[in-house]
Amino acid sequence: MSDLPEKKRTKGTSMVEAEAEDRISKLPDAIIVHILSFLPTTDVVQTCILSKRWKFIWFSVLKLSFSDTSTTAPEFLKFQNYVDNCLEHRKRGLYFIADSAVTSFKLQIECYRKSKARSLDKWLSFSVDNKIKELSLSLEPGKGKSYGYYYYCLPETVSNLRALTILELSGIELRYSFGFPSLKLLSLERIRLADNDVLSKSLLDCPSLEKLVLSSYKCLSIHDHPLRVQSSSLKFMIIEFDGSLQVEAINLESLVLRSGCFKDINLSACMAIRNLSLSNCKWGMTDQSSFEDFILNLPLLEDLTLENVYCMSGLEHLKISNQHLKCFKLRNTHYTHDMVMDFTIKSAPKLVSFYYEGNINCRISLESPNLLNGKFVFDDYHYEYATNWFIGMMNFFLNFNCSWDIVTLHLFSDKVCPLLIFYILSLCILM
């Protein structure tokens, strides 16, 4: 009798497992292939041993993704043989499986050496032969014996990918310009350029480009001339750049600029910007007015984010005005209690949302005829929430000459007295 419940439990468990297995086996091949497309190719290939049905399913996965973490020559040789075998099988699959084309190739190498260049060239030739639409290469340049780093130079054969829509390169050297008529997204991170003209000419030869990401690149040329971004199709751009920059993109709608000095940046042709985010940018006394005029004269600007912007000359006062601005976010997280920054927001009749993150030493004067939704995140988590802090907090809110619809307050501490918080929020409501 004692064995009977155990048998029932075993039977019940097996029935649940069988039911789960049936659910997977009933999925259409198209759904299984879609799920497998999110996995590394090493995991996808292993599914071929599950059953006869799964033996050739991996041939229908459109994406190939490989990651090399080897640190020694024998380890890379093992990785190289594996990739070679996979690509050879996919080549053969084209002859007996109708939907076995490859449209996306992704390769990540954590430590690149010159000895790996030949293998990379061969794998990229496979990509060219298969006319892939998405290419992603992420390499960590290896350190040289004496000085510098080993960068992989993208071969010119890649220019034959005329159907390419997405190109993501990281840790690559570009010695020549390229052109892709169908390219929609271009991401370049930690790349090394022979000259700024290499990138400028390439952008001109990508007439369908809509999104550009450029971060932490190095130019080998000794000639100091601006990086020129010229595109009539570009709509979204994220750029991290410390040199001279000239952007001529008449249809650019969203710009995220990280680091740089405003006097070295020319955005006068970008009048279609709706979303603008500036992070860790700086200006001098002579170009602060031009920065304020630029914000004022953007005819379509709706969303503005300023994060840790500052003046090199010590003048810490910035005026923001725009007739179409609806949302303004101010992040002041790098400022200490000894640094005081003044912001004046006025002549913004459509402003409905305001966000602030930082300490209470920032002086903000805000005028708006609308009921605002406000969110305040105070990062004084290292500061004692004593009487002086709360007095400073009340003075912070008294500078706002506006009415609030909703106010959200975030403090990084459990030491805050609820009664004082209630008093401050009441003060905000009465303003």
| Range from 25-34, 128-137, 183-192, 322-331 carrying the lowest mean pLDDT | 25-34
For residue range 54-91, what is the model confidence (pLDDT) as tens digits? Answer: 888 889 899 999 999 887 888 999 999 999 999 999 99
Q: What are phi and psi of 352, to 5 degrees?
A: -130, -10
Phi-psi region of 358 (alpha: psi -120 to 50; beta: other; left: phi over 0): left
pLDDT above 70 covers a percentage of the chain that reads 81
Q: What's the gap between Cα 321 and its chain centre?
A: 28
Question: What's residue 88's pLDDT?
Answer: 93
> How far are the Cα atoms of 356, 358, 375, 406, 431 from residue 370, in angstroms, in the given order?
18, 24, 16, 12, 13
Confidence label for 408 from pLDDT (cuts 50, 70 and 90): confident
Residue 424 carries which side chain, given as an amino acid letter?
I
* pLDDT at 231 exceeding the cut of 90: yes
The mean pLDDT of the chain is 83
For residue range 357-369, what is the model confidence (pLDDT) as tens digits? Answer: 988 878 888 888 8
Question: What's residue 338's pLDDT?
Answer: 52
Question: What's residue 363's pLDDT?
Answer: 84
Contact 115, 152 (CB under 8 A): no
Give the other-Cβ count within 10 Å of 194's Cβ.
16
Confidence label for 109 from pLDDT (cuts 50, 70 and 90): very high
Q: What is the mean pLDDT of residues 169-182?
A: 92
> How far are the Cα atoms of 36, 285, 330, 386, 417 from residue 383, in angstroms, in the given order?
50, 32, 21, 9, 14
Confidence label for 395 from pLDDT (cuts 50, 70 and 90): confident
* pLDDT at 132 exceeding the cut of 90: yes
Give the separation between CA 305 and CA 307, rounded to whole angstroms.
6
* pLDDT at 209 exceeding the cut of 90: yes
* pLDDT at 317 exceeding the cut of 80: no
* pLDDT at 308 exceeding the cut of 90: no
For residue range 233-270, what is the model confidence (pLDDT) as tens digits? Answer: 999 999 987 778 889 999 999 999 988 777 788 888 99
